[in-house]
Amino acid sequence: MSEPSVIARKQGKARRITLNRPKALHALNLDMCELMTDALLKWRDDADVELIVVDHAEGSRGFCAGGDIRMLQDSGKADGQEARDFFASEYRLNTLIQEYPKPYVAIQDGVTMGGGVGISVHGTYRVATPNTLFAMPESGIGLFPDVGGGWFLPRLPGATGMWLALTGARLKGEDVLAVGVATHFADEPAGLADKLCEQGVSALDSLKTKAEPSFAEHQGEIDACFGKDSVEGIVSALKAGSGWAQSQAETLASKSPLTMKIAHRQLTEGGKMSDFRDNMRMEYRIGGRLVCTENFIEGVRAVLVDKDHNPNWEPPTLEAVSDDLVDSFFAPLGENELQFI
């Protein structure tokens, strides 16, 4: 009999959730989203529960490496319903975490990308470690920075969130704390989950809460270039910038033009919103449509299936991505809008 993909149990003052799909670096699937949601709902109003602690099973270098991309591709080739069901479950879970009335502590020890960001960044406390590797790499496969990316990315310092969303840049260790994706940094993560369960959130008191980003010398250029009001404007500014900026422009040239324009609008609109649920409704509209495009199916083929890393994006250029096309991904869904718990 196989082990459950999520282990949820009582431990000390806490209720502990351990992700348990090590061969997949604990990437989220529908079963995991539902198990986490069920546990969090069960504990939400339990007076005996002081805090929630989320970690991953030992012996894996991933906290949570994302979501089930191959399933999304297979669904997109069909009618997209399985993908929409997954997005609905995942986004409800993200919202449950963001609105949770008890302290929610996620230990981001290892690869934390996509879906793994969604089950950590919206919690009360997020602990990065020397093993943490953060990214929102969706622009490289023709998807978009979902799981609440439209909410948290534009709220990072300056234009850092737009830089991360468009380039898929990876942050390691203390950089994750420096930009605010993590709230704490633990030099030694071993035993931290047990300590939290025994002591409660006071176990975080000895951890580092401030750090200087390793890319601080580029922050001014990040803000100036990635703060432009269009992707074309960003690319133009980068090409006219330093050698580092020009390398960022080269990176963008490999990404999905459609994704970049969608992400730019997503972050621009999400940054103005005052209700997290509005953001998740917006992302559900985008996600259910984008997985059914040839653009996404081709991106997954190039990066994860054939691994030739040479996608033929559709549309092929930024100029070919019309405003009307971008608008179509944001259009209301009527009776099919995302429903919350």
Task: For the chain, give the secondary structure using H, E and C.
Answer: CCCCCEEEEEECCEEEEEECCHHHCCCECHHHHHHHHHHHHHHHCCCCCCEEEEEECCCCCEEECCECHHHHHHHHHCCCHHHHHHHHHHHHHHHHHHCCCCCEEEEECCEEECHHHHCCCCCCEEEECCCCEEECCHHHCCCCCCCCHHHHHHHCCCCHHHHHHHHCCCEECHHHHHCCCCCEECCCCCCHHHHHHHHHHHHHCCCECCCCCCCHHHHHHHHHHHCCCCHHHHHHHHHCCCHHHHHHHHHHHCCCHHHHHHHHHHHHHHCCCCCHHHHHHHHHHHHHHHCCCHHHHHHHHHHHHCCCCCCCCCCCCCCCCCHHHHHHHHCCCHHHCCCCC
- C-alpha 197/C-alpha 50 separation (Å) is 9
Range 83-98 average pLDDT = 98
Q: Are residues 79 and 187 in the same domain?
A: yes
Residues 41, 61: one domain? yes
- At 57-81, the pLDDT tens digits run 988 889 999 999 999 999 999 999 9
Same domain assignment for residues 183 and 250: no
End of a domain among 182, 204, 226? 204
pLDDT of amino acid 233: 98
pLDDT, residue 59, reads 80
Average pLDDT in the 244-254 region?
98
Averaged over 19-29, what is the pLDDT? 95
State the pLDDT at residue 60: 81
Domain match, 223 and 311 both: yes
Distance, CA of 62 to CA of 43 (rounded, Å): 26
Mean pLDDT score of the chain? 97
Q: Which two tokens stand for residue 68?
A: 């089930």
User: Residues 107-124: pLDDT tens digits?
Assistant: 999 999 999 999 999 999
- In this prediction the pTM is 0.97
What pLDDT sits at residue 58?
87
- Is residue 199 located within the same domain as residue 232? no
Give the count of domains, the chain.
2
Q: Are residues 58 and 95 in the same domain?
A: yes
Which positions are annotated as active-site residues? 67, 115, 138, 146
The verdict on 280 and 193 lying in the same domain is no
Q: Are residues 177 and 287 located together in one domain of the fold?
A: no
> Which residues span the domain enclosing 272?
216-336
Pick the last residue of a domain from 183, 204, 225.
Answer: 204
Tens of pLDDT, residues 187-244? 999 999 999 999 999 999 999 999 999 999 999 999 999 999 999 999 999 999 999 9
What pLDDT score was predicted for residue 1? 59
**Do residue 182 and residue 303 come from a single domain?**
no
Stated length of the chain = 341
- CA dihedral (18, 22, 27, 32) in degrees, to 10, reads -40
* Stretch 94-98: mean pLDDT: 98
Q: Are residues 194 and 220 in the same domain?
A: no
For the chain, how far is it from start to end, CA to CA, in angstroms?
Answer: 31
At 2, the pLDDT band (50, 70, 90 cuts) reads: confident
